[in-house]
Structure 1
């Protein structure tokens, strides 16, 4: 006989959660020599089995959706509704890495033939956790099922290792080899200046036994980091680089929000936009929030930071990240940025906009979609659809009445999403904006598909030891600099810099210097803008 405790009104469920004990206590022996079974209530620690079962179900569902080409890994995981997105994402990612291995093991062990009710994707996530993960964390039927076949599964794994002549599990992973995957990138760590400073973080790691190598002077220095060593980046003062195999996800500084794990290339947009403290800034496509937290740190939590994202779940996750990072100057909006009204009075003081829209993600090293849809990610139809959205978002960002600078970035290597979008923007809006010549000392420039293409910057694993990335920055053309002489030269088909912008560049300078792309503007448009400003001041 077993007793099941129920939660009493005066005890909250989280504290008084008990479950039926499956191992009844036996005390002593009776006169007949048989043990007496005592009915007792065991205060067993609540089992995470229910949660873990849900994890396996969600992971299997995501794998099925990937097979049906219903979205990317990140999108499907965020839309899954699972409470622990990070845990689900990790399980899906690792299962994908071992997918071909799991197929062979499941087939060789005849698991699905012996357990006809077990679905393939459920079997994959269960077998992955049993053989390659940290062990099955669930209880119930599934654990009993896998444990019943544990000998066959382990034997199938051993035979596969012998067949492929490997000794380690990770050596079984087969990936589609490409040039970008041939590089192991450093583990980049951005110091969160809202909670700490670079010197204190360096000292903390040194006390933990890490060796600090000082500041890097070249990209080559970043290639020579050994385990338990780290170095300061040569471009961004608050960025540290560790050995590629360094795992800091459970480190105190990360969980407490003192450091952000962010690729160097991803740090460039906020760093280059560099809004002064107190500014009003928009992060157009904000989730998952690393760039937003970087902008807040640059603002020193002073001013206003509007962050938009259409995905409710991603925005909720982002809110948690910003809370951990100590961000307080933000205003989150669950809204499609392309539907925002730039004339809304709340945005009248916005001077800086960061546009990092959805893209193909083709620049990301070890991109998980290589296991599912790599061929389709670069299809002409998909790139055209992405470029259309990117152009729309960037064009809207430039239409805010008092905007001064707009940064545009993607983690794509495709010209269609990068230089082609910038070229089209300049063609349509060149009468009032100009492209900024970013970081002249940066080693990799934009493609010269149009005259100002090299003013943009690119990043690749081979050249910059980062993910593939693209960044361009637009600056609003000051009306007072549009002189009659400039308009005449434009009418003659000559594009020239205003006299104030003809300062020669030093190759060591890192401050962005703008090059003019001004074109003829009509007096009627100028008058309309002035009238609009007068009305807004009256309001």
Structure 2
């Protein structure tokens, strides 16, 4: 019952523009966030169809249900995996099931379609490119990629090895592969559900979209470091950071919402995270000069955003452009304040900024404004092999999309402090580091082999720097030229 009550409340608040759908879901008290999120997204997508069924059968009159609650119940009854409640609600819905099913069938006959999906407007129908793989991050605090693969093979899944190209991530039935970019990530068919699987319940695997795994992977704080997760809830990125750090060091996680922190605490406990310190605090009010944070060198900043990159949050209806622009401007202002605040920590080396937004106002424009205001920081080029880059001139950053990376829409930028720029006049707003991020597999456990199945050597990546310096063979020649100039002046 709690599932449907929460889903109905979230749908109502979303329609009243009281918050982004993702934020409303995470703000709820419901224990299974993923289950709630899936139900809300699917119900919202089919909302016009469900409303027509409810109105045509006069369900509200017969049951005294309210529209939003009726929608989530009818969705699960007719299109989902069946009602997950008992008692009077289930009895009531089962009493009207035949009439509801008959109305759904009449709608299909009228529109000459056979699938529920085909009842949606063309613009709202999920195309094949939006049927994203089910990504599973192996929690290396509790197990290894190798052990998880072996367990799944014994459980009836068919392992296809290491993915070599994007097309290898389009899987059928019980096939699965290792991801081609992130070594601790496995990809399955989009139909695969792990919510009731032992590995998920035991915290050995984390259900996390591939794009969402990029920030912690690319920030790559070494074990023993002091790290801040600025806007931490619901906690998947926090648990990923802890895995990268091997649970060694100090991981400070902030979130303004106490309910979300409580949910996050449960998630981190299940994941075996012990190096964290949760704080129910606004990150913007954290004092960068506090002795508590004097050793912080790494920050992950994933602030509130529009959520426009989330496939299930796409709105195919009419948009008030003026209202939307005002909303994005407000979000961008908040994001820039968070970014500027994060760069004030005195010993900061690297800060990674990410959003699940496709809008340049929340991404490249925020980074551009930040670089102008913080000339002692510069962008670091990320993953040269990643197929989708930031909009020009921010090609050092990464973007993600359903079509080009088979993930939700996402944006990632890595800022690095360079002390030379504090003394020199910046040449442009876009400053680029001379180093490119090429992180090895982050914290994949003592027994875990490297990402490639052919390479059976144990991973020692935690001892390697996160950046690989570019060629500097021409430095002696520069010194000679300087000497010649000096001689001429003399």
TM range (shorter): 0.7 to 0.9
2:45 is equivalent to residue 97 of structure 1: yes
Q: CA deviation at 1:166?
A: 3.4
Work out whether residues 436 and 514 of structure 1, in 8 Å CA contact, stay in contact via their aligned partners in 2: no
Pick closer, same or farther for the CA change 1:413–1:75 going to 2, 3 Å.
closer
Residue of structure 1 in register with 2:358 after alignment:
413
2:388 is equivalent to residue 444 of structure 1: yes
Pick closer, same or farther for the CA change 1:358–1:96 going to 2, 3 Å.
same
Q: What is the DSSP-based 3-state SS (H/G/I as helix, E as strand, rest coil) of the residue aligned with 1:461?
A: coil
Q: TM-score, normalised by structure 1?
A: 0.75
2:12 is equivalent to residue 71 of structure 1: no
Match for 2:283 among 320, 337, 341?
A: 337
Q: What is the DSSP-based 3-state SS (H/G/I as helix, E as strand, rest coil) of the residue aligned with 2:206?
A: strand
2:152 is equivalent to residue 205 of structure 1: yes
2:167 is equivalent to residue 220 of structure 1: yes
Residue of structure 2 in register with 1:476 after alignment:
417
For 1:200 and 1:469, the matched residues in 2 are separated by 30
Match for 1:138 among 64, 86, 95?
A: 86
Q: What is the DSSP-based 3-state SS (H/G/I as helix, E as strand, rest coil) of the residue aligned with 1:254?
A: helix
Residue of structure 2 in register with 1:111 after alignment:
59
Taking only aligned residues, the RMSD between alpha carbons, in angstroms, comes to 3.2
Match for 1:466 among 372, 386, 407?
A: 407
Residue of structure 1 in register with 2:259 after alignment:
313
Work out whether residues 191 and 260 of structure 1, in 8 Å CA contact, stay in contact via their aligned partners in 2: yes
Q: CA deviation at 1:415?
A: 0.9
Pick closer, same or farther for the CA change 1:184–1:477 going to 2, 3 Å.
same
Q: How many residues align?
A: 445
Work out whether residues 438 and 513 of structure 1, in 8 Å CA contact, stay in contact via their aligned partners in 2: no
2:305 is equivalent to residue 359 of structure 1: yes
Q: What is the DSSP-based 3-state SS (H/G/I as helix, E as strand, rest coil) of the residue aligned with 1:205?
A: helix
Work out whether residues 136 and 205 of structure 2, in 8 Å CA contact, stay in contact via their aligned partners in 1: yes
Q: Higher relative contact order at CA 8 Å, sep ≥6: structure 1 or structure 2?
A: 2
Pick closer, same or farther for the CA change 1:55–1:361 going to 2, 3 Å.
closer
For each residue in 1:233-265, what CA deviation from the matched residue of structure 2 results, as whole angstroms up to 9, or x when unmatched? 122111111112111121111111111111111
Pick closer, same or farther for the CA change 1:443–1:156 going to 2, 3 Å.
closer
For 1:482 and 1:460, the matched residues in 2 are separated by 34
Q: CA deviation at 1:57?
A: 3.9
For each residue in 1:273-323, what CA deviation from the matched residue of structure 2 results, as whole angstroms up to 9, or x when unmatched? 100100000000011111100000000000000001111111111111101
Pick closer, same or farther for the CA change 1:342–1:289 going to 2, 3 Å.
same
Pick closer, same or farther for the CA change 1:309–1:230 going to 2, 3 Å.
same
For 2:79 and 2:431, the matched residues in 1 are separated by 61
Q: CA deviation at 1:110?
A: 2.6
Match for 2:139 among 174, 192, 196?
A: 192
Work out whether residues 437 and 467 of structure 2, in 8 Å CA contact, stay in contact via their aligned partners in 1: no
Q: CA deviation at 1:119?
A: 2.8
Specify every segment of 5 or more residues in structure 2 that has no aligned partner in the other structure, as ranges: 442-465, 471-490
Pick closer, same or farther for the CA change 1:506–1:437 going to 2, 3 Å.
closer
For 2:304 and 2:329, the matched residues in 1 are separated by 13
Pick closer, same or farther for the CA change 1:459–1:77 going to 2, 3 Å.
closer
For each residue in 1:456-496, what CA deviation from the matched residue of structure 2 results, as whole angstroms up to 9, or x when unmatched? 11111221111111111111113xx469xx73xx38x5899
Q: TM-score, normalised by structure 2?
A: 0.82
1:369-448 correspondence to structure 2 within 5 Å: 370=315, 379-430=324-375, 432-448=376-392
Work out whether residues 306 and 331 of structure 2, in 8 Å CA contact, stay in contact via their aligned partners in 1: yes
225-234 vs 271-280, which deviates more? 225-234
Work out whether residues 383 and 437 of structure 2, in 8 Å CA contact, stay in contact via their aligned partners in 1: no
Pick closer, same or farther for the CA change 1:161–1:336 going to 2, 3 Å.
same
For each residue in 1:414-460, what CA deviation from the matched residue of structure 2 results, as whole angstroms up to 9, or x when unmatched? 11111111111111111x22211112222222111x4xx11111111
